[in-house]
Copies of this chain bind each other. A is one copy, B any other.
Amino acid sequence: MDGYDKHAFEPFAVTVDLAVFTIREGALHVLLVERGQEPYAGRWALPGGFLRPDESAERAARRELGEETGLTDVTGLHLEQLRTYSEPGRDPRMRVVSVAFAALLPDAPEAHGGGDAAQARWTPYDAARELAFDHDRILADARDRIGAKLEYTGLATAFCPPEFTLGELQQVYETVWGTTLDRPNFRRKVLATPGFVEAVPGAARLTGGRGKPAALYRAGTAAALHPPLLRPVPEGRPA
C-alpha cells in the first residue's frame, strides 16, 4: 500500500545498473566502464547512474547507456529489468538501491567513455571479474536470466541484426549456453515453432563466405516459444 502514511520515510539514492551483452567473434561480451571516481576508482563496473526525479528506471537506463558509453539511438536494443539490489552496505558511502537491467545488442558498435566513466569497453564475459560494488553478482544473475529466457522466448533474435541467417541464430544459443547444437535439428525446431522467425523471401546473405549463402530470416512476432527450445542437459544431470 505504499504505506508512508504513519511512519516517517527515509530517503534513498536510486540508481540503475546495466548488464549489456553482445556477441563478438563467437564469444559473449559485456559492456563495462572504468570508474573515474572513488569508491572503486580505476575499477571496472557496469554502466549505470542516478535516477532523475522525472524519469522511470527504464528511461534512466537508456539515458545512462548513451551518456557513459556513447551507445545512443540503439534501435535494436532489448532492455529488460533484472531485479533490484537493496542490501544495506552494497555501497560503502551511502544507502543505494539499484534497479538492474539486462540488455542485448545485435552488433557491437564501439563504445567510448563519457559522463562518469573514464572509458568504456566491450569485455569478454569470462574476463569480467572483480567488478566494483556487487556488480559481479549482478552480471552473473543477468547471464543466468538471459540463458534461461533463450529457452522459452524468442529473445535470441535480439542478439541478431534485423535480418539474420539460421546459422547466426544458432551461434547465439551456442555462445550463451556454451554448448554445441546439431544444425539440422536446430533448423527444424526453429522453423517448426510458430512465430519464432519468418523467412525473407528471395534474400540470401552474401557476406564473403565461401560456401552456399544462407537464407535470411526476420524475428517473428511470438513472445513465447511453444514448445520451448530446451537447453541440452549437462552430462550426468538426470537424478
Contacts and interface: CB of A to CB of B under 8 A. Distances in A.
Interface stretch (A81-89, A159-167, A176-184, A205-213): A81-89
A84 B23 CA distance: 28
Contacts of A1: 17, 33, 35, 45-49, 68, 116-117, 132-133, 135
A97 B97 contact: yes
A216 interface: no
Interface of A: 1-7, 9-15, 17, 33, 35-38, 45-58, 64, 68, 81, 83-84, 86-88, 91, 94-99, 115-117, 132-133, 135, 151-152, 194-195, 222, 226-228, 230, 233, 237-239
Contact of A51 (B12, B33, B58): B12
Contacts of A10: 50-53
A98 B2 CA distance: 8
A14 B226 contact: no
Contacts of A152: 151-152, 228
Nearest to A237: B226
Contacts of A50: 3-4, 7, 9-10
Contact of A49 (B7, B99, B115, B195): B7
A27 to B, nearest CB: 23
Contacts of A230: 226-228
A2 B205 CA distance: 41
A61 B155 CA distance: 31
Contacts of A7: 49-50, 116
A17 B3 CA distance: 9
